[in-house]
Each structure stands twice: as structure tokens, then as C-alpha cells.
Structure 1
Amino acid sequence: MTHLCQLTEISTVDFPELFQFYQYFPEKYPFLLATTSQDNNRNPGSAFDVLFIEPKEWLRLDHALNLSSSPDYDINPEQGFLDNFDQIFNLEKITSDLDFLKDINLPFTGGWFVFFSYELAQQIEPCLNLPLFAKTEQALPIAYAARVRNALVFDQQNKKLFFVSESAVEHPQLLKDLMQDALFINQQNTNNDACIINDLSEEIENTFIQGVQKVKDYIKEGDVFQVNLSRYWQTSIIQKNNKKKNFSNHTSHLYQLLSCANPAPFSGFAQFSNEQGNVSIISSSPERLLKVKNNQLESRPIAGTRPRSDSVEEDLRLIEELHQHPKEKAEHIMLIDLIRNDLGKVCVPGTVVVDELMVNETYAHVHHIVSNVIGQLQEDATPGDIIKALFPGGTITGCPKVRCMEIIAELEKQPRGAYTGSMGYINLDGSMDLNILIRSMVLQEQSAEQYKLSFRAGAGLVYDSVAEKELQETRDKAMGLIRAVQ
């Protein structure tokens, strides 16, 4: 029997790192989802790396909310991005061979790589009026879906590498081409440090402190219960000795730096290009927005943070203090209720439950309180329905979500872009996995020799928040990114 998914196991001996395929062939291998943290038990199913190969058809939403696509897709510009994606998905979705796909137990078996900027929320909630992007920053799409039929998938737990493709006829030649690319990479000089990262500039403290007070005023007036307010860091990157270097080399270099400084279960990168130039997202996110597998929907909210210590004893004290703090507990429970409500929009009534409550997850620079919420999907729920129900994540907006996004737009005064957006994959059988893009950088090409690097970090604000402590929390969360570029 010929299956819809063709698999070949590849020896990992002398095989290049997956990011190197992008470094040397960025148009052919533009997207990587990876796990760079060592403890994969806390995020089952994230212990895989997926390199997406030769994306073909695409659907794109740009900053004037203009919808475009490759010629292969018949789109309706009067409809939103997610509605158009659902129509495309319905034409290609599979309902057979599902047992085989379940048995091979790989995350990606053919489908779409997807990316959503935070500003996609404006199509989901048309009442929103979110800040616009400057023209120099419009290479980054608001939303993007790329049809991908081939991938390299590395199973970290079993140390096995697979080439996955949808075509039984083309599989042998595709594998041959892949191995030729691997041979070429192994013959190259992989020195990747021919750039200078200038000093970081940080948004002035007073802007955030005034924002905290304004949020507390809104809470006192009864508008909201909690708001996640963020602030930015930025720098520039220039070439050493005026040497010309490909954009993908810089992205690869930053990915390696970030993977070492801030390892995380939902890492990766994506590059996009248009007439405005090249832009890439480099992620080291700890948070899952949603996962769909075997008709079960899952979300894993993070809310509650303390910095790491150099002392084991102090780390244990900080974890205990975090989990016992009345403010942190109340805030976390409130956000769990928000996530439960979001899942309830697309799940069978009565099936939404919290199967992990307020567990601890420790990363390189912070401790977090994390819960897991699951529910059984309604049979007619589409990928677009699911994303509309949960995006953007409640932990990075606040409660209630729409009013919080209005306040965020008022106080931050600039688009978030990739920050608190999402990237991941959607398979042909409807399974999917999407992160929340926190602890992530954006690299924007400004000229052949100079690039802008920026990122954001936020804190959840409630009525009894202390501005200086919340300011420090943004720095604690950003520490992995700061260390990566210093």
C-alpha cells in the first residue's frame, strides 16, 4: 500500500545541523521549528526539530490588510486570512490513512508552515484599531501560510532523523537532492561571526512606569482585571571589514547564540522577503498557544515569573515564594479561566478540563507557573475556527482580551509584530502545534551592510502591581535575549 506520507530514516553521522541548510540555501529551507532545551518531559511532543523544505503555494496578509497568494490558490480578498485558509485546507485535507500517520508518531507529515503577527487580531476582532507598521518594517507579514510537502524531522528522544515527503514518485529524487545539499554544506567553512552587534538600547523606564499607573487606573474603573504591557529593546548589526554576508548567515548566527543563551521547547526561525527586503524571526519561546492531536485541543498557559538564582537553595525558595504568592495564584487562575473559555468556543461542552494545574517550569533565566488545559474538539471545528478562538493568547493580552488589546495599543503606541504572535505547523489531517512568540527576536534588513535587531518583553499588571517590580520582571524575561547579543 502506498501511504500519503513517505519516510526514509537518514544516518545522523556527519550530517549537518538542520539550521545550516537554511544558512546556505535560505529559499529552499526558510523555516525551522526546534527544541533547544534539554528537559523535554514538561512539553511532551515538543522534542522534535522540523526543517521545512521547498515551500510551494502560499497565502499572505500584508500590512494594509491586503491578501495575496501564489497563482495556485483561488482566494477571496473580501474574506479574512483565516477564512481563506480554511477554504484551502478543506480542498486538501485528508480523512484516510490516519492510522498510519498516528503510528509513525511524527509531528509534521505534510501540510503548512504558518506564522501570525499579533496584528492578525484585528481581523479576528474588527473593532480593534491597532498601530500601523512603518514602511521600513513591512517585509514582515501579518499572516502567512506556506504549503510544504517535504521536511526533515529529528526525533531528539530516539536520536533518529527522517526525511518526510508526500510523493512516492518524487521521494527518491528529493532525497538525493537533500543529500547533495548536505554534502555541499559539509564542504564549507562554517565560521559565522563576521558581524558586529552594537550596544542595546532599552525603552526608557518612565514610559513603562507611567503605563503601569494607567493600567491600574483602568482596573480601578472596572475596564479590565489584568493587562500584559510590554516594552522594547533594539540594536543594529553591521558587517566586519565591510564584508558582504548573506542575510541568512546573520539569522543562523543569532539562532545559535539564542539557543545557547536561552534554550526553550518552542524555538526556531522563519525568514520572509518582499520588495521591502528580508526579515527573520528567531524564537526561543517556552509557551505553547495550542496543539491539536487526535481530535483533542490543548493550550499551555504561562503566568507567574521569578528570576533564577545562582544558588540551588535560593532557587527553591524563589519557586516556593512564586507558587504561594496570593497575587500570582489569583492572576494565574484568572487566566486559566480565560483559556478555558477560549477552548469552550470550539470544544464539545463539558469536555474542557485543566489536566495540569500550576506546575513549575524552570528555564535558563526564570521560573514560571504553568498549567495545561484540554478539551475535545467539535467535529466541525476548522483550523481557522480554532485559531480565532485562541489567538492571541490570553496570557500575553490580559482579561478581558479585547479591551486589554485596546489598552495595549493605546499605551505601547507601536505594533507588536512577531512579539506575542505565533508560528508553527498545520498538517493535512488537521493536527497542529503553534507557539506564542515570546522571548523572540526580529532581524530586519535595512541595507546590504546594516540590520536592525529588536525584541520585546512584558509583564502582567494587576491592581496591586508595583511598577518597579514589574519593570524588573520585563528585564528578567528578556535576560536570555540580552545575554545572547552581548
Structure 2
Amino acid sequence: MKCYPDRSRYLELAARCSRVPLVGERSVHGFNPSTAYRSLFAEDARSFLFESGKGPDETARYSFFGCANQKALSIRNNQFDIHNNGDRETVALPAPDALKRLNFEPGLDAIDHVDHFWGGWVGYLSYEMAHWFENIQLRAKDGLDLPLLFFFQVDRLWVYDHHTALLKYIVADETGPDPAGTHTRAAAELETAWQAMDRVLAEPAATEPGKATPASSLQASLQSNITEAEYVQMVERAKNYIEEGDIYQANLAQRLAVEYAGDPFPLYQRLRRVNPSPFSGYLKFDDMVLASSSPERLVKVVKDAVETRPIAGTRPRGKSEEEDARLSSELLLNEKEKAEHLMLVDLERNDIGRICKHGSVEVTDLMFLEQYSHVCHIVSNIQGHLKPEIEVTDILAAVFPGGTITGCPKIRCMEIIDELEPSTRGPYSGSFGYIGFSRHLDLNIVIRTILVQNGKAYFHVGAGIVADSIPEKEWQETLDKAAAMIQALSEEPVE
């Protein structure tokens, strides 16, 4: 095992930085983060696995996994709860400074031996957190009993670099008044952690995830929060708003639910196998689990560089190579889909332009195609450079929630979504990921995601509505997007 920085460099950094990550790494070819997570952390009350999957190299390089320390933040029932080493502080809302606890820690710019996330906050924001960042009032309506926000702190974790096959264990404690002692304890923990990992690596290869309900039975027992006729009516009302000039486009969703009493982790493994995606993840919070195979990034920050990656435009995959090529070509040439996508690219450019230096925002990739197991999408990539002194709360206020799952203009679309959809969205079309101690942040958009709680599995699927949308086709698009989740919950392929 290679350990760095050495003691001398660690103490040098500790004189300037309140927290210094100590890294123990080794080359491990063919490493399976999912198997290791399950062996080491699946029984922890709060744990996470962020797993790179299918996607371009820049989005599918690292996997991260670990468990929480004793610090956490949550918003539920109109109060902000702060958990700190067994103590709990409740702050009445509104509390404008409460979210600032998620900000990057100052004085860590000298840390240069780790160029990725090495500790910080891990968690999610529900869609309804929008009213914290935008001037919008959301109605109280049917929903699940979930926190609006839940983040726990992580100060040691495993990281796997899929490009170099390097596996790292990182301890990122505060250096405190005795940095030499902190280094000694961290170095000893690296040895212990690698001994545990060696036992995992010596285990026989894991078997395939267990089977679930047959697809035919599952589809019969799926319950939606809306009928097809009601969805068609919802689309028609959205089109009226478009005709009247209120909006240009809106995303409307249905929520599906089914009984699920099994272990959620094999469900995640099946979902990732069925629909490998660059922003896959498994988040465990006490009595709930989010299992995601999201293809979409909300926002990424590395130092002063910021990036967002909008997806808009969908077609189902073909059943043959010829049909697949035809559908893909049709998607890229379709004027409706192109116009919708370009409109949302402009929205996202404007969003990150609020926090970026003048003239730094540019579209680096425009309208390329990405294929997933059941659908293909049009994707673009937008980058910029942050203004000085921009904090996490500024970034969230600028980009949350993602315009691709609200519509344009964003605030009016959120008001219309609130009027038309019968249930709160919860995590769906919100975001989960990490916010580093240092200036590393990566948050996805929660789509292609199953929530498991209290013996039930829930997932949302939506479609972008524009002036010439055909309501029945938009309903079918939601079902196309549901196919991967249905297959993950089933033991047989969905045709």
C-alpha cells in the first residue's frame, strides 16, 4: 500500500489547513465497488455508493462508497435538525443560515495530492426544496413522509479510479491541536481498513442479484397516482398554458408504486445492470433507500470550474439494430425535440451564468446522442468558471431544480406542475450526490430512481410537454422511461 502525503508534508499542510486527507492506495484490477460496498457498509444505518457506469470517460471515472460519521442535517415538518456526535439541535424555519453548514470549508486550497472528492457531505434534496431557492409557494398535498433534505457527513471513504485501477482509502479527520497524533491515528486506520478490504477481495465472486416479482405480475400490481385519461387532461391543460404564452415547455410526471418487502440492495444491482448510467447511486438513510441509475448531472464543481449536463429529447430503443438506428436518427433530426433541447440549453446557460464570471460560460458539446438500455437521449454539456467567493448555497440557488425536469421558464413551470400534478415529487427531479470539504461537488438529477420505504417501492416518470405534443404519446414516453425500473423489479425482460 502506498500512503501519502508523507508525515513531513502532512504536518506542513496541517499548519495551513484545518483538515488533511491521508490516502492509502493500491492497484486493484477488476474491482467491483458494488460487491465491496455490500460487504463493508450495507448494514450501516447511513451509507452510500456512488457508482460510475455507462457514459463518456469524464463522467464515468470514479466510484465512491462509505458510511456516515455522527454529523447530519435534515429538514422535515418545517424544522431544521442538526445532528452532531449524538447531540441534536432543532432550528425553526425559515433559517437562512442553516444551509450554509453545507458550504465548502475555507483554507483547503493547499490540498493538492487528491484531485477528486475526499470527504464532505453526502445526501439529497427533494424537488420541493425549490421554494428555498426560488420565489415560489408550493401547495400542501399528498406525498410521502420524507425529509425535504438529508445530508450526512463523511470523513473516511473508499474511492476507485476506473481509469487507473487504483483503489484508495481516505481518512480526512480535522487535524486538531495535535496534527502529529492525528497523522499517526489515521495511518493506523489505513492499515486496518486495507486488512478489511483484503478479506473482501479474497471472498468468492458474488452471485447475480436475486430475482423479484415476474414482470407480468408486477405490471398488474403497479399503482399510479394518475390514470391515463387524467394524464392526457393534464397535458392538454399544460398545452393551453403554452398557447396562452405562460410557458414554452413543462415536464409532467406520474408516480408508480408497488409492494416491495425485499432487500433494496439487490434491486439497485439489478437496476444498474439493466440500465448502467454515469450517475448511478445507492443512498441509505435509516428507514429509506434511494436506488438510482440516473443518466443526468445537475451540476459539477471542481475548484472554480462548474459544469451542467442537460438531457432533453427521448426515444425508445429499437428491437433490432436497424430500428435502433432509425429511431436514433429520427430523434436527432426531429425539429420538436431539437427546439425543446435548445431551449433548455439556453435555460441552463442562464442558470450557471448567474454564478459564473462574465464571458466564461460556453456550450462545450451540443446535442450529442447517448444510448441507454431502454431509451436514448439528446445531451449537451455547458461549462463556466465561478465568480470569486461563490458558495454552495449560491450554486444551489442558481441551478436547483434542473430546468430539464421543470420546463421553461422555470418558476412559472414549477407553479403549473404544482397545480397539475396530484402528489408531491419528493426526491424525484431533486438531486443527490456529494458536497466536498474542499471545492468538489457533484449532484445528479434524480430520475430513473426507485425509492424504497416501509415495504413499498416508488418511482416517478415524466415527459416534456410542448405546443405540438400529442398527449397519448407523452403518456407512452413515461412508460418507455419506466421500463428499466419495471425490469429491475422483475425477473423477466419487459418487451
Classify the TM-score, shorter chain: 0.7 to 0.9
| Paired residue secondary structure (2:447) | coil
Matched residue count = 454
CA positional deviation for 1:25: 2.8
Is this contact kept in 2: 1:21–1:181, CA < 8 A?
no
Q: d(CA) in 2 for partners of 1:266 and 1:452?
A: 23
Q: d(CA) in 1 for partners of 2:163 and 2:293?
A: 19
Q: d(CA) in 1 for partners of 2:68 and 2:131?
A: 30
Is this contact kept in 1: 2:41–2:66, CA < 8 A?
no
Q: Give the TM-score normalised by the residue count of structure 2.
A: 0.85
CA positional deviation for 1:181: 4.6
2:481 is aligned, of 447, 460, 477, to 477
CA positional deviation for 1:177: 4.4
Aligned partner of 1:301: which letter? P
Provide the residue aligned with 2:154 in structure 1: 148
Using a 3 Å threshold, how does the CA distance of structure 1 residues 428 and 327 change in structure 2: closer, same or farther?
A: same
1:218 maps to 2:241: yes
Instruction: Choose 196-205 or 207-216, whichever is displaced more.
Output: 196-205
Q: d(CA) in 1 for partners of 2:32 and 2:327?
A: 42
Q: Give the TM-score normalised by the residue count of structure 1.
A: 0.87
1:31 is aligned, of 17, 24, 48, to 48
Is this contact kept in 1: 2:124–2:433, CA < 8 A?
yes
CA positional deviation for 1:325: 0.9
Q: d(CA) in 1 for partners of 2:53 and 2:430?
A: 20
CA positional deviation for 1:238: 3.5
Q: d(CA) in 2 for partners of 1:189 and 1:316?
A: 36
CA displacement, residues 436-456 of structure 1 (integer Å, 9 cap, x when unaligned): 0100000012xxxxx100101
Using a 3 Å threshold, how does the CA distance of structure 1 residues 254 and 22 change in structure 2: closer, same or farther?
A: farther
CA positional deviation for 1:189: 11
Q: d(CA) in 2 for partners of 1:53 and 1:150?
A: 8
CA displacement, residues 261-316 of structure 1 (integer Å, 9 cap, x when unaligned): 1110000111112xxxx111000000000001130111000000111113222222
Provide the residue aligned with 1:271 in structure 2: 284
CA positional deviation for 1:76: 8.5
1:207 maps to 2:230: yes
Q: d(CA) in 2 for partners of 1:434 and 1:408?
A: 23
Aligned partner of 1:51: which letter? F
1:8 is aligned, of 19, 24, 29, to 24
1:96 maps to 2:109: yes
Q: d(CA) in 1 for partners of 2:89 and 2:102?
A: 8
Provide the residue aligned with 1:171 in structure 2: 186
Aligned partner of 2:113: which letter? F
1:251 maps to 2:264: yes
Provide the residue aligned with 1:124 in structure 2: 133
Provide the residue aligned with 2:81 in structure 1: 68
Aligned partner of 2:428: which letter? Y
Provide the residue aligned with 1:452 in structure 2: 456
CA positional deviation for 1:471: 1.2
Provide the residue aligned with 2:37 in structure 1: 19
Using a 3 Å threshold, how does the CA distance of structure 1 residues 453 and 15 change in structure 2: closer, same or farther?
A: closer
| Paired residue secondary structure (2:168) | strand
1:341 is aligned, of 350, 375, 388, to 350
Q: d(CA) in 1 for partners of 2:381 and 2:268?
A: 28
1:227 maps to 2:241: no
CA positional deviation for 1:409: 1.5
1:72-471 → structure 2 map (5 Å cutoff): 77=91, 83-87=97-101, 89=103, 92-101=105-114, 105=115, 107-132=116-141, 134=143, 137-138=144-145, 140-167=146-173, 168-179=183-194, 181-182=196-197, 193=210, 199-200=218-219, 201-203=222-224, 204-238=227-261, 250-273=263-286, 278-445=287-454, 451-471=455-475
Instruction: Choose 421-430 or 387-396, whichever is displaced more.
Output: 421-430
Q: d(CA) in 1 for partners of 2:153 and 2:234?
A: 41
Is this contact kept in 2: 1:208–1:471, CA < 8 A?
yes
CA positional deviation for 1:196: 5.3
Provide the residue aligned with 2:179 in structure 1: none
